[in-house]
Amino acid sequence: MHQALLTLGFGLVTAAILSLSAVAFTLEYAVTNVANLSHGEILTVGAYAALVVHARTGSALAAALAAAVAGGLMALAMYAGVVDRFIRRGTPTLVIFIATLGLSFVIQNVLVIIFGAANVAYTISPGAPRQVGPFLWTAVDIEIIVSALAITAALYLVISHTTFGKALRAVSQNRELARVSGINANFVASATWFLAGLVAGYAGFILAESIGTFNPSFGFSFFLITLTAAVAGGLGRAFSTMVGAVIVGIALEFFGGFVSAGYNLAFAFAILALVILIRPRGLFVNARRSVFE
């Protein structure tokens, strides 16, 4: 039991990072209907930005901010440079999906050129693990969980209680209708992607902190797990995505405990396949349909 609780504790850390990444991905999808396959690269860029700033300033706080800002700018560039141009032409979303895959390829390798392909170490001394209730967490772990909760709460407030949030929801429901009602859909989408990038960039920072090393492809690997959570929760639905992320994060930790962690990815996708087969639209959506509905 004790062991199970410990694993649960570690799982919650993973779940925290996963939920931030997944929510950001879901926001991107919600306002553009595009599943952004280069989303993982936002995390990677955030991690590298944090590394550079930390090396210069020695401040973890500055590093965190740098990660967020870099992520926001990267996401904005993705939107304005690629995604929006396709949307304006009325390109089918599957085609844009393919384009984001190409984008992932490009960004990962640009990072290779700048930083090299090798693993870089990201050492922020985690501090000694302390007993917090039934869990064993380091100071960094606690920061991760707390900050994830705070960001999630902030996002929730923004989405449900601000005019911007209302506009966001309108655009995600029906872009044309929102535009006709006077909402500048393009601005809302750009701002949302920037926001999502802030969150994802920060997620990259805490992920790097948590793992300790990273390389240009680490965001993509983590993204594949993020994808599991996002699709399991239901693409485009923020709340259920978060629940999906928590479940997947904890499940992975338990699974990793029984079998080597190298299989994590395979396990995550096994979950995904199962979810998609049973409920193609996600765990929390009704479904009894023919393939045409």
Q: What share of the chain is helix, strand, coil (3-state, %, to 5)?
A: 75, 5, 20
- By the rule CB under 8 A, 180 interacts with other proteins: no
Per-residue binding letters, 237-276, with other proteins (x by CB under 8 A): -----------------------x-xx-xx-xxx-xx--x
Q: At what angle do helices 218-233 and 39-57 cross, to 10 degrees?
A: 130
State how far the Cα of 181 lies from the Cα of 245, in Å rounded to an integer.
34
State how far the Cα of 153 lies from the Cα of 67, in Å rounded to an integer.
20
Cα separations in angstroms, 291 against 125, 234, 270: 52, 17, 22
Between 182 and 262, CB nearer to other proteins: 262
Minimum distance from CB of 96 to other proteins (Å)? 8
Q: Which stretch binds other proteins (CB under 8 A): 18-26, 81-89, 174-182, 198-206?
A: 81-89
Q: What's phi and psi for 287, nearest 5 deg?
A: -155, 115
Q: What's phi and psi for 150, nearest 5 deg?
A: -65, -45
Q: Which of residues 6-45 bind other proteins (CB under 8 A)?
A: 35
- By the rule CB under 8 A, 123 interacts with other proteins: no
Minimum distance from CB of 113 to other proteins (Å)? 5
- By the rule CB under 8 A, 188 interacts with other proteins: no
CB atoms within 10 A of CB 173: 11
Token couple for 46: 């955030």
Amino acid at 77: A
Q: Which of 4, 5, 61, 98 is close enough to bind other proteins by CB under 8 A?
A: 98
Binding-site size for other proteins (CB under 8 A) equals: 50
Q: Where are the alpha helices (DSSP H) in 58-184?
A: 60-78, 84-88, 93-115, 139-161, 163-173, 175-180
State how far the Cα of 176 lies from the Cα of 255, in Å rounded to an integer.
44
Q: Which of residues 204-233 bind other proteins (CB under 8 A)?
A: 220, 224, 227-228, 231
Q: Which stretch binds other proteins (CB under 8 A): 5-13, 105-113, 128-136, 157-165?
A: 105-113
Minimum distance from CB of 175 to other proteins (Å)? 18
Minimum distance from CB of 108 to other proteins (Å)? 8
What residues make contact with other proteins under the rule CB under 8 A? 35, 82, 85-86, 89, 91, 93-95, 97-99, 101-106, 108-110, 112-113, 116-117, 220, 224, 227-228, 231, 260, 262-263, 265-266, 268-270, 272-273, 276-277, 280, 286, 288-293
